Amino acid sequence: MADFHEHDAAALSRRNRELSILNSIAEALNRSLQLDEALRTALALVGQLLSLHTGWVWLLREDSAESYLAAAYNLPPVLSSPAKMEGSCYCLDTFSEGDLSGAANISVVTCTRLRGLSAGTDGLRYHASIPLYAHGRKLGVFNVASADWCQLSDDDLRLLHTVGDLLGMAVERAQLFARSTAIGAVEERNRLARELHDTLAQGLAGVLLQLETADLLLELGADTERVRQKIHQALALTRGNLDEARRSVLDLRAAPLEGRTFAEALQALADAADQPFTLSVQLTGALQPLPARIEAGLYRIVQEALNNVRQHAQASAVALEFVATPAALTLTIEDDGVGFDPTAPRPNHYGLIGLNERARLLGGTMTVQSAAASGTRITVAVALQ
């Protein structure tokens, strides 16, 4: 009887612990509609509450079903390079084939990204893969790892599967929120277009009225000061309208990708036949979805940078490198042209000023490295969190 009560008490304690863990994770997921924030929080909690070393989440793009790294927690050094988390692997291939389809199939497997490596692995060799679904639709894979794993108990399997269900619901909710936000953005652009039209029409009418009055005063031989006053009023109205137009256009600017993905749009630039230089493109993490304004801004930066190279650099080759992680992205454009002194004044050259302004509008920074006869390297960095 005593053994029975001890067993019963142990089961109750284990169950209470599981419920406490699930409750903490559910609360964290419910606090945010932003997918990256929700996933990071859930990974950190799972790692802390289950005493796991590391974890990461693969998600499938909605438009192509290709996988990308959506979030990571405490990756070992050897996997911290974005390039190491590119491409397929055993767990993603298995998920794609439909074999990860339930708690019974969540198991500890050898990580193919760590196979054959020794340094920088933190002793990790295995991870558990939990499939993420929403109403039968594949969402991605949730991986967690610990250095001392060799097998999972039934209780561990059940708990991880429930965590996977919570993550799947959070992913679906965040994606629905993102779609509704996109619809709202279209409506906002339409509103801004109407506002821009009305504002400019009204402002230009005011400018015209002041200039017509000044012209009439000149014909009547009025005092020069009265004419100058009307012209100054027209100038003030013009400046105000120009500022308003700039503000509205910045808000109104739509993604210039013409229905292509960001990666496809960059590749199209590389394939263009009208460039006096060769353009190589290297993309890491490009499958990760980005906000439309960031994709548009980065694409414009690339276009303007290439235009600067075309006009001034006399380059024969340009290398474009794009690296995106769940936390940040970096865009680098480097040419082998004549270079210049970035500290020297360059009157009537506004290309770099425009590039820097675009980077700032994205919440990022731009750095320029160049010297005479040494080419130019432009780097734009944008934090995504």
pLDDT in tens, 286-307: 999 888 788 888 988 998 899 8
**Amino acid letter at 377?**
R
Name which of 7-16, 83-92, 250-259, 353-362 the model is least confident about: 250-259
pLDDT above 90 as % of the chain: 17
> Please, are residues 72 and 84 in contact by the beta-carbon 8 Å criterion?
no
- 78 falls in which pLDDT band (50, 70, 90)? confident
Q: What's the helix, strand, coil split of the chain in %, to 5? A: 50, 20, 30
Distance CA 90, CA 97 (A): 11
pLDDT at 104: 42
pLDDT above 60: residue 230: yes
pLDDT above 60: residue 356: yes
Handedness of CA 150, 155, 157, 159 (dihedral sign): negative
- 344 falls in which pLDDT band (50, 70, 90)? confident
Handedness of CA 365, 371, 372, 377 (dihedral sign): negative
Q: CB under 8 Å, gap of 24 or more: what pairs does 166-169 form?
A: 166/22, 166/25, 166/26, 166/29, 166/42, 167/29, 167/39, 167/42, 167/57, 167/130, 167/132, 167/142, 168/132, 168/133, 168/134, 168/139, 169/29, 169/134
- Count CA atoms within 13 Å of residue 363 on its CB side: 10
pLDDT in tens, 92-149: 888 888 766 544 445 567 788 887 777 788 888 778 888 888 888 889 999 888 877 6
- 251 falls in which pLDDT band (50, 70, 90)? very low
Task: Give the residue, 164 or 2, on which the prediction is more confident.
Answer: 164
Average pLDDT of the residues of the chain: 80
Rg for the chain (alpha carbons), in Å? 29
pLDDT above 70: residue 77: yes
Among 12-26, 208-222, 297-311, name the most confident range.
Answer: 297-311
Tell me if residue 324 falls in helix, strand or coil. strand
Q: What is the DSSP string of 10-31?
A: HHHHHHHHHHHHHHHHHHHHHT
- Count CA atoms within 13 Å of residue 93 on its CB side: 8
Question: Which residues neighbour 166 within 8 Å (Cβ) at sequence distance 6 or greater?
Answer: 22, 25, 26, 29, 42
- Count CA atoms within 13 Å of residue 148 on its CB side: 2
